[in-house]
Amino acid sequence: MTTTPQILPQPESTYQLLLDAAHTWPDGIATQWIPDPAAYTECLTWTYDELAGTVTKIANGLASLGVGRPDAVTLCGPNTSMLFAATLAAQAAGIAAPVNPALSGEGIAELIHRTGSRILVAAGPELDPQLWQRLLAVARQAGMNVVLAVRPDGATGPRPVLATGGGAPAAYLDDLIAGQPTGHLAGISPPVAADLAAFVPTGGTTGAPKIAVHTHANQLACGWGIAESSGLAPGEAMLGGLPLFHVNALIVTGIAPMFSGARVVWPGPGGYRDPALYQHFWKMVAHHQVAAMSAVPTVYGRLAQLPVDADIGSLRLPIAGASPLPAAVREAFAERTGVRLLEGYGLTEATCASTWMRPGEERTGSVGRALPGQQVKAIRIGDDGVWTDCARGQTGVLAIGGPAVFAGYLTDPGSGGPRVSRDGAVRDGWLDTGDLGHVDADGFVYLSGRAKDLIIRGGHNIDPRVIEEALLRHRAVAAAAAVGSPDPHSGEVPVAYVVPADPGQFDEAELLAWAETAIGERAARPKRIYPIPAIPLTPVSKPYKPALAADAAARAVAETLANAGLRARHQITAAHEDGQLVVTVTGADTGRVRDAVAGFAFPVRTRPPRSDRPAKETRS
């Protein structure tokens, strides 16, 4: 049974928001942490008062290590109660810098260097022994001051002894905060709205991730708008299955619920990435009376295949975001569960979410209306860089305005604190999203794809979603992604990559014939369709098309060389270097290769066989 939602006013900081929630609902359940999804009825429960006290203790502990307002704290590990509390505490004392634990050691070290962090809060040896050892090595490499180990939720018994010597000292986070006050920040001033709150790596869908900088005001504006729109009442449950380094987890299931006193259920350290979760998913939803959840389309695609073996009548707000929702997934989920997915849209650069489809307002193809306090419009960007607003219903590049637009990208931590730049991303307060779409007369936003994802065939713009949606309607296709394949005559031609529904069955001719009838736009019909085991994803589960575009380029060069009589005589590789596609051809007849590939718009390097290779390579 729910009560009328009460939305708290926006305070000065995310820390003050937590204090306000603890004052308003001291005994209300804030978070519930399930250590093992197989035992989903057992969880660690924190009230809002307990969460506020723990966050304050951790913030004081971080301050005792020298963390101040301009200092970043790196956080890396699977989802646990203490990692969540430490993230909020890092924002109270300094700046939270969440990092994906799946990144390579070199990648994590690079992010640490770019943020200037000297403190690492990490999954301890009980949570992930291999990750712990890897992070210790990273800490040594990055010259960090200390590594603080987090234990699993519900851990009891003796703790492993943490190795010392040879690098950054290691200690348990529990030991650091023992004896710290819970009722006030000691020795540090509370943050204010303009202070920096988080350094969040972007999804990196078109290359290496940048680091987006959020202020407390950004996070509060976005969280408040989500809370206003969702209408969750005190005590209603939301499922938090995305990893804590994901901005959606931090804002949608972290900050926003505090405005209404909602309860967040975290289904195990691995969240949606844990295969064991799906064996008990619907029973977990029923047991915890989950009313809302937020996940990426790939998660909903998997759920649409699960038989519903429990009463899930409590679920009314399943929110999809992070990447476009395929119509086939939307329809399959509704058919399986009887609940319609509610699509949203947002970017890390706009803090998290900017639009959302409210229940009862569903419009096919739309991602909803702007959240309260935010604005969305379509613009045309001229060759001279001038922005012109599009008319309602006219397609252009989407731009987002309002207090949720980020402070900028981190450029250099610098000796005087973080340096942030909005250059090239924000103009007159409006964020250039790089996404194509339009806004109709009623304010509903429709996406048409990424500007960088457009396939341009002889000057004809092709939205890859047209191809992907058509292929997903075929029973033999589980997932699909379309990219442009380089073509000397047309510039690009569309090709598609599909994950077969049955890994042992793939018939390109059948799918090409399907595309001939399913895709009305003749220019958009793919020239080739290739099977792959899985669609490449970014660390935050967005489709990573640069990897497919590189493969398509290598295939195009191989076909061109074969047509020139150079079949099977070369090794061909392709990769993006500094944002530019480069293909390398290794083998004999470098002169003939250069002549054959002269029509391509991207660089093609040629190298002789290794035994004959000179000191310098050639390039066309």
For the chain, domain boundaries: 14-439, 454-543, 547-619
> Which neighbouring-strand residues pair with 444?
369
Give the pLDDT of residue 559.
83
| Residues near 424 by beta carbon (within 8 Å), at least 6 away in sequence | 432
Residue 364: pLDDT band (50, 70, 90) is confident
Give the pLDDT of residue 461.
66
3 pLDDT exceeds 60? no
3-state secondary structure of 440: coil
- Which CA distances in Å does 128 have to 44, 75, 124, 161, 599? 19, 14, 6, 15, 51
Residue 79: pLDDT band (50, 70, 90) is very high
Structural contact between residues 377 and 354, judged by C-beta atoms closer than 8 angstroms: no
For residues 611 and 374, the model is more confident at 374
**Of how many residues is the chain composed?**
620
614 pLDDT exceeds 50? no
Q: Which amino acid is at 33?
A: W
- Which CA distances in Å does 317 have to 291, 491, 574? 6, 43, 42
Give the pLDDT of residue 615.
39
Which structure tokens are listed for 324?
Answer: 């476009």
Run of H or E including 472: helix 464-472
For residues 330 and 574, the model is more confident at 330
Q: How far apart are CA 148 and CA 117, in angstroms?
A: 13
Q: How far apart are CA 553 and CA 583, in angstroms?
A: 7
Q: How far apart are CA 266 and CA 7, in angstroms?
A: 22
The string of pLDDT tens digits covering residues 44-63 is 999 999 999 999 999 999 99
CATH number of 454-543: 3.30.300.30
Average pLDDT over residues 118-129: 95
Q: How far apart are CA 359 and CA 230, in angstroms?
A: 9
Q: Which CATH superfamily is domain 14-439 in?
A: ANL, N-terminal domain (3.40.50.12780)
The string of pLDDT tens digits covering residues 524-533 is 899 999 999 9
620 pLDDT exceeds 70? no
Give the pLDDT of residue 460.
61
- Which CA distances in Å does 530 have to 435, 449, 550, 615? 26, 21, 14, 37
Structural contact between residues 54 and 60, judged by C-beta atoms closer than 8 angstroms: no
Query: End-to-end alpha-carbon separation of the chain, Å?
Result: 69
225 pLDDT exceeds 60? yes
Average pLDDT over residues 17-38: 97
207 pLDDT exceeds 80? no
The string of pLDDT tens digits covering residues 508-526 is 999 999 999 998 778 889 9
Average pLDDT over residues 165-171: 79
Give the pLDDT of residue 263.
98
Q: Which amino acid is at 29?
A: I
3-state secondary structure of 529: strand
